[in-house]
Structure 1
């Protein structure tokens, strides 16, 4: 694992996007396409904003989406499909996009997503860490055992409060109770993971990431077992962590 602590969220986004672009372009020099997984949420604003500016042959990129609320229409401000379309997909000529859709026949959709993502390995995944330590919507205690690629999960209260705190919903009661998420198993199959985690509200989660062994009560800790993980923090998100872990 490599750890970078940047001055602020903007500097974090710039460096993480540069790293991601370099990985993508190196892969495109030796293979036909790159399969990319993207996170959403307020913590990813700067990284995605910088990534779309990069000189990449986007038509050779196949993008997968991590998660989506059950029953939430795309028109809702909190929809992750809406988020990704407005901040990424509509700004570049992507080759292929696979959205998670929480409406319609969920069983059939899970089967479709699984078929697509398991056709070939994922080359690069940009994975955030939630205030409760979740990755995607794998809230604690996260399922580290399932071999599914996507599944329906119940959202815990801390996760719901994060969504309200970021301004996506007016109250906790307005947050959907369930979501479709990419599983821990599928995330960990990615060849490279860049985890971008800025902002003060993530400081506790980052401290717990470093202080705990791999534990489903702290879902993000599973990423410490990944052979090619780079963690991007800013001074605020790293503020509660013992500096010895950040060297």
Structure 2
């Protein structure tokens, strides 16, 4: 690449190619460090990445038996077996198909009796295993990561957060009605996310293009939480062509590598 870059922006031709690249990067991490601690995301964007990791596992190309996982967030109030809980999402779309040990899976408890204690315990569980080696992120159309929503100030550590109307509306497609969408969630804070050794941010589709442009524009603002990722020493942003459509290479800093794949 001709230098050391803090941020790599890789543009793949479409969603499937982007997802394959992401899966290969996760597999490489686990191959090099079988007991890796992975930070995992939910939502529509990572689904194909998880599918491709499952395919690799079934071909004996990857082994999750020593991996520990830590999810970014969970809705408050939903039972683990609720079809829209992130517990259900992770087991239904990934964990049930691989050989990760149940005791190595960490997801915030959205039904905790004491949410403040649950947040403290979650932070301790991450610190206990020396932190996250590779964090996978998605991004909201308003620039949120995890459930760190645009605001004048952002949470440092894992906390209970109020979801914005925009996020509630965006997530309502997964529920029978918008009234069923939880209004609060437990989410890793920005400092927790930024402490990961490596970060991969995934974004697909035209509706994410503006958020991506603001994330990499060279300006940092809590109104675009993802823009804080520019301060991380090793981040890769994987995009399809639609999500990358508003990026101006003139705005990118000198320590950013921009790559368009065939």
Q: What SS does structure 1 have at the residue aligned with 2:159? A: strand
1:101 partnered with 2:109: yes
Aligned length: 239
Aligned match for 1:43, one of 20, 42, 45:
45
Matched with 2:255 is: none
Aligned match for 1:174, one of 174, 180, 183:
180
Moved more, 217-226 or 53-62: 53-62
1:79 partnered with 2:85: yes
CA distance in 2, matches of 1:115, 1:182: 12
Aligned match for 2:211, one of 191, 205, 209:
205
Identify if the C-alpha distance between structure 1 residues 142 and 227 changes in structure 2 by more than 3 Å, giving closer, same or farther.
farther
Q: What SS does structure 1 have at the residue aligned with 2:70? A: strand
Moved more, 233-242 or 150-159: 233-242
CA distance in 2, matches of 1:104, 1:57: 32
Deviation at 1:108, TM superposition (A): 3.1
1:8 partnered with 2:14: yes
Deviation at 1:68, TM superposition (A): 0.8
Aligned match for 1:125, one of 107, 119, 135:
135
Matched with 2:4 is: none
Deviation at 1:111, TM superposition (A): 2.7
Aligned match for 1:160, one of 168, 174, 196:
168
Matched with 1:237 is: 243
1:114 partnered with 2:116: no
CA distance in 2, matches of 1:142, 1:13: 33
Identify if the C-alpha distance between structure 1 residues 175 and 238 changes in structure 2 by more than 3 Å, giving closer, same or farther.
same
The answer on whether the counterparts of 2:140 and 2:211 sit within 8 Å (CA) in structure 1 is yes
CA distance in 2, matches of 1:199, 1:78: 22
1:160-201 CA distance string (max 9 Å, x none):
12112xx21233332111100011110000000011111222
CA distance in 2, matches of 1:5, 1:156: 29
Aligned match for 1:228, one of 209, 226, 234:
234
Matched with 1:196 is: 202
Matched with 2:147 is: 137
**Unmatched segments (≥5 aa) in structure 2:** 1-6, 253-257
Provide TM-score, normalisation by structure 1: 0.91
1:19-41 CA distance string (max 9 Å, x none):
1211221123xxxx111110000
CA distance in 1, matches of 2:247, 2:178: 29
Moved more, 5-14 or 96-105: 96-105
Provide TM-score, normalisation by structure 2: 0.86
Aligned match for 1:60, one of 66, 71, 95:
66
Identify if the C-alpha distance between structure 1 residues 92 and 36 changes in structure 2 by more than 3 Å, giving closer, same or farther.
same
